[in-house]
């Protein structure tokens, strides 16, 4: 008799196909934009037929949500580790400056504009991560010699995210906006903040 709590046994190929579908979808989003994601475009790149995409993800909304979730879950863990590391700000910036992740997030935010299910998920993830960042910042801000009246946690969190956004946007738009200088300066700034930190 089969386990009642697991009425469905999945075949081995299924797991691999699920991740392949998510990989392909990410790739399409990054190269052609979220609007190019369709059951047919995903299927053809994955070497399967369109209806099979709907077998795994009944609606395209669920596909987008799955893409976001797969990225977000390890990121929550990584961000928690960064917050607990010996150099929280630098570790944070290192995470935030992943261009693929940031570009993907930008697209998903834009896509969420007309996909309520995705919008809800983006909001959930954003709140969870932001809360974690705010908690840590509140407790360690003093060690960096930063006045919380001038640089409150909310501003610092927004700035970290925002600079990452702007860098990715600049790099995508055209290659003459000195983003290299900005990125280098940001790294120096993080290094010097960590150095002046008193624990």
Partner DNA sequence: AGAAAGTTTTAACGGTCGTTCTAATTGGGG
Partner DNA sequence: CCCCAATTAGAACGACCGTTAAAACTTTCT
Task: Answer whether 35's CB lies under 8 Å from 64's CB.
Answer: no
Instruction: Give yes or no for residue 31 binding DNA (CB under 7 A).
Output: no
Show contacts with a second copy in window 86-105 (CB under 8 A): none
Cβ partners under 8 Å of residue 109, min gap 6: 122
- Judged on CB neighbours under 10 Å (0-12, 13-18, 19+), 88 is buried
54: partner contacted, choices DNA, a second copy, none (Cβ within 5-8 A by kind): DNA
What is the C-alpha to C-alpha distance for residues 28 and 33, in angstroms, rounded to an integer?
A: 7
Q: Is 41 in the site for a second copy (CB under 8 A)?
A: no
User: Rg of the Cα trace of the chain?
Assistant: 20
- Here the tokens at position 27 are 């790739």
Q: Are 106 and 169 in contact (CB under 8 A)?
A: yes
* Selection from 126, 112, 121 nearest residue 79 by Cα: 126
Size of site (CB under 8 A) for a second copy: 54
CB-CB contact of 64 with 111 (8 Å)? yes
The listed partner (a second copy, DNA, none) that binds 12, CB under 5 to 8 Å by sort, is DNA
**Least distance from DNA to the Cβ atom of residue 28, Å:** 10
Among 26, 45, 52, 98, binds DNA (CB under 7 A): 52
Q: How far is the CB of 160 from a second copy (least distance, A)?
A: 8
Among 52, 166, 194, 197, binds a second copy (CB under 8 A): 166
- Determine which residue in the list 58, 123, 142, 145 makes contact with a second copy, applying CB under 8 A: 123
Is residue 134 within 8 A of residue 153, CB to CB? The reply is yes
For the bound state, the minimum distance from the C-beta of residue 10 to a second copy, rounded and expressed in Å, comes to 33
Q: Where on the chain is the footprint of DNA (CB under 7 A)?
A: 1-2, 7-14, 17, 36-41, 48-55, 58-61
- Contacting residues toward a second copy, per CB under 8 A: 32-36, 106-107, 109-114, 119-120, 122-124, 126-127, 130, 134, 150-155, 157-159, 161-167, 169-170, 172-174, 176-179, 181-182, 185-186, 188-189, 192
């Amino acid at each position: 008799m089969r386990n009642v709590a697991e009425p469905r046994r999945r075949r081995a190929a299924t797991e691999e196909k699920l991740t392949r579908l998510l990989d392909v979808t990410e790739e399409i989003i990054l190269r052609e934009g979220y609007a190019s994601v369709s059951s047919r475009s995903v299927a053809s790149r994955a070497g399967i037929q369109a209806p099979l995409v709907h077998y795994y993800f009944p609606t395209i909304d669920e596909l987008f949500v799955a893409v976001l979730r797969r990225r977000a879950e390890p990121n929550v863990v990584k961000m928690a580790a960064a917050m607990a590391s010996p150099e929280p700000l630098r570790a944070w910036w290192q995470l935030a400056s992943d261009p693929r992740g940031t570009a993907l997030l930008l697209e998903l935010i834009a896509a969420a504009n007309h996909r309520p299910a995705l919008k809800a998920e983006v909001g959930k993830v954003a709140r969870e991560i932001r809360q974690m960042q705010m908690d840590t910042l509140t407790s360690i801000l003093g060690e960096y010699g930063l006045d919380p009246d001038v640089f409150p946690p909310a501003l610092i969190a927004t700035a970290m995210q925002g600079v990452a956004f702007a860098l990715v946007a600049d790099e995508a738009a055209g290659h003459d906006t000195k983003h290299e200088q900005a990125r280098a300066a940001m790294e120096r700034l993080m290094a010097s903040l960590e150095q002046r930190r008193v624990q």
